[in-house]
Structure 1
Amino acid sequence: MNNQPNDVNSEYIINERTLSLEPIRFGEYTKVYEKNKEPVMIKKTPLKIIRQSCIRYLSTYDGRREASTRVLGINRKVPVNVDHLKGTYLFPTISHLKPECTWITLSHLKFLEKIDKKQTKVTFTDDQAIMVPVSPLAVHNQIMMTKELYERGNASSPSIQTEKVTRAQYVVGVKENIISFFYTRNRE
């Protein structure tokens, strides 16, 4: 009996439309969400997809992870810049070594919603949403680490800041269990 999901692709390269990589069946497959598209199934783990995408963009996952580790001064749940030309930054929800790790792209986040103490709904700018089995604080910290990586990597000074970044103990400005990252500018 074949337990393989229908409509499975064998290849995928992370791009500017990628929203998230969600492992299915402990990493045998990955459900890839893209902006304004139906999710697709890929017969690879999220980490394999990230590794192959880094190679496609002329680097290695290990090299990008090491650079992020040095720049941020952290070595756990390290975000990476998969495509340095387009600025595609992804962060893991838990350790990248765990098969149940979901990877989320920074640039498409709209808001987080606390479902319970260990469950967070992540909504993207196209209103697609995923559930991740981690606290909103953990997701928020990952977002802040990834934003810091982006800012340090794109600073105008010739040297890069490498001081250790501290993780937040709580989230400021939470309204009704929702943390918003998408701000519309008021036109005057």
Structure 2
Amino acid sequence: MNRLQYQIHEETMYVVSINNNGIVESRIGETYGDSLECRLTPNKVIERNCRNHSQNYIARKDLTKSLTSITSKIPVIIDLFGSYIYFCTHSDRVRENNWFNIKHIQSYWDNKGMTRIQFSNNEELEVDISYSSFNNQYLNALKLHYRFNQQKEKYQKKEAGMHFQYPSLGRGDTAQINETIYHSYINYINGLQARDRV
């Protein structure tokens, strides 16, 4: 049975397009179990998940552009913390697009003009894109991952130098709520960095 929506999570490996009686829908692979189907196009799955993480897709693309200067087939960070970085095989104007979670790509190679991908659970998938194009998209996603983590480190060093005196975000009840969310975000980032060092 097809889902009407899908929430990307830690174990989501890919969102690829399938043709269902002339309608473009999505097949979604997770590290466990069988793949799932969703009635949305892969682009719509990505867009809705960006919104679920408090940013729209355009803002996520703009972040990538500002960090990397990539302007075509832009990889995106789905969440606010850089946990889910996805790259595409085509322009987002193409409905038959495919999106891959960089974290779950184990290896990939040329297979008669197409690209065969092996994921972290050893599942393999063949996509209709040349090896050189896929490799370029993968490297762009790596660049985004690197630049984003560079910015996190710079921000943390700056905050450490200020002895964790976070700047105030404003006045009033709404600002207090925003400030609480802001501090929670900073604490979460600090936790990620601590975990990465172990």
- TM-score range, shorter-chain basis? 0.7 to 0.9
Question: How far apart are 1:71 and its partner, in Å?
Answer: 1.6
Find the structure with the greater CA-based Rg: 2
Other structure's SS at 1:41 match: strand
Partner of 2:114: 119
TM-score (norm 2): 0.73
Within the alignment, does 1:153 sit opposite 2:153 as a pair? Answer: no
* Residues 80-103 of structure 1, C-alpha deviations (whole Å, 9 max, x = no match): 000233610000011111112110
Partner of 2:179: none
Aligned Cα root-mean-square deviation (Å): 1.6
Partner of 2:10: 16
Distance 1:13 1:157 in 2: 31
Runs (4+) of structure 1 exceeding 6 A deviation are none
2:145 partner amino acid: Y
Structure 1 unaligned spans of 5+: 1-6, 159-188
In terms of fraction of residues, the more helix-rich structure is 2
TM-score (norm 1): 0.76
* Residues 16-36 of structure 1, C-alpha deviations (whole Å, 9 max, x = no match): 111111111276210001112
Greater Cα offset, 98-107 or 23-32: 23-32
Match of 1:45 among 41, 46, 58: 41
Which is bigger in relative contact order (C-alpha 8 A, separation at least 6)? Answer: 1
Distance 2:144 2:23 in 1: 27
Question: How far apart are 1:157 and its partner, in Å?
Answer: 2.1
Distance 1:133 1:27 in 2: 18
Partner of 2:91: 95
Question: How far apart are 1:79 and its partner, in Å?
Answer: 0.2
Distance 1:27 1:98 in 2: 13
2:138 partner amino acid: I
Structure 2 unaligned spans of 5+: 156-198
* Residues 129-179 of structure 1, C-alpha deviations (whole Å, 9 max, x = no match): 211111111111111111111111111224xxxxxxxxxxxxxxxxxxxxx
Report percent identity of matched pairs: 22
Partner of 1:59: 55
Match of 1:71 among 67, 70, 89: 67
Distance 2:119 2:79 in 1: 20
Number of aligned residue pairs: give it: 152
